[in-house]
Amino acid sequence: MNNQDRELDLKETMKTYGEMLFKVCFIMVKNKYDTEDIIQETLLQYYVDRPDFDSEIHKKAWLIRVSQNKCKNLLKYKKRHSYIQLEKIEECLSIGKRYDNEDMKEFIELAKLDYKYKSAIVLHYIEDFSVEETADILEISVSAVKMRLKRGREKLKKTYEKFYLEEVL
């Protein structure tokens, strides 16, 4: 594949998977700029490595896995270096303009979950991967995915019950 074909492939990949990668990464790192950097690094790795995929599903899974690993690395780095990112609520809202208020509340609550829960929830419920595919992408067992989904749902349920109870009172 020559450079021109590789560039066209990269543009097509960004067009096809860019928004999905943005959502998945933003939920993990909770910062627009870090998300954009991670997507750029993921696409650069795709361009340089030139992986050979069996199918589009395999390609999508590879992109998600690489971006998830980069998110994990960034979060570990920030934790290790006591870096505290104070996010502005208007940044969250500006990203959420394409969602209605109810969807935005869910998006923000999901972003507050621990990484291990939100990664499983995003892959399974938002990106429609099966439990087995989610386990492969996250490189954990099927039972671990099921447990993370269960615990993530419980945490979200507690948050929503508290939110709706306060709203009624």
Distance (Å, whole) CA 90 – CA 55:
39
pLDDT at 82 over 90: no
Q: Are residues 15 and 83 in the same domain?
A: yes
Could you tell me if 2 and 75 lie in one domain?
Answer: yes
Residues 6+ apart with CB under 8 A from 80: none
Higher pLDDT, 67 or 156: 67
Domain span at residue 55 reads: 1-98
- The predicted structure's pLDDT at residue 163: 54
Q: Is residue 106 part of a domain?
A: no
- What is the pTM (predicted TM-score) of this model? 0.57
Could you tell me which of 55, 50, 28 has the C-alpha nearest to residue 39? 28
Q: Token pair for residue 92?
A: 């969250």
> Does 105 fall in a domain?
no
Residue 108 lies in a domain: no
Decide if 19 is inside a domain.
yes
Q: Which two tokens stand for residue 37?
A: 């950097």
Which whole-number Å values give the CA distances from 130 to 8, 83, 140, in the listed order? 30, 35, 13
Domain boundary at 98, 122, 155, which? 98
Q: Are residues 8 and 70 in the same domain?
A: yes
The tokens describing 71, both together, are 């998110």
For the chain, give the mean pLDDT: 79
Query: Worst-scoring range by mean pLDDT, 6-10, 43-47, 80-84, 147-151?
Result: 80-84
Q: 94 and 32 in one domain?
A: yes
Instruction: Please tell me whether residues 67 and 142 are part of one structural domain.
Output: no
Mean pLDDT, residues 90-112 taken together: 53
The predicted-structure confidence for 8-33, as pLDDT tens digits, reads as follows 988 999 999 999 999 999 988 888 89
